[in-house]
Amino acid sequence: MSQQRVVVYTSDHCTHCKKVLSKLTEWEIDYKEKNITQDKSYFKELQKQKVYGTPATFIDDDKVLGYQERSLKRALGIQDAGRFQNADTIHFS
């Protein structure tokens, strides 16, 4: 399987940014962080994508805005053991 290119645009004092980076680290995903507070050229890059806030995560051609764990998992191809996917916990009458 080919390695995905993951870029996360962050800013200082952004709690959702920290959550995204924490999850990527937990899932052992390599990523490049671009902090728009510390480098204004990164903010210009982000604006060219028509995005004006952080966090903004680009996974190959997919874009996930904000902290959306399921969307991140989907874009990364990580199987979600969510509440409807575990057949052992679903019972039908």
63-84 per-position pLDDT tens digit = 999 999 999 999 999 886 555 5
Confidence check: pLDDT of 88 > 50:
no
CA nearest to 56, candidates 14, 25, 89:
14
The predicted-structure confidence for 42-63, as pLDDT tens digits, reads as follows 999 999 999 999 999 999 989 9
**CATH hierarchy code of domain 6-79:** 3.40.30.10
What gap in Å lies between CA 8 and CA 59, rounded to an integer? Answer: 9
Confidence check: pLDDT of 17 > 50:
yes
The predicted-structure confidence for 24-44, as pLDDT tens digits, reads as follows 999 999 999 999 999 999 999
Confidence check: pLDDT of 5 > 70:
yes
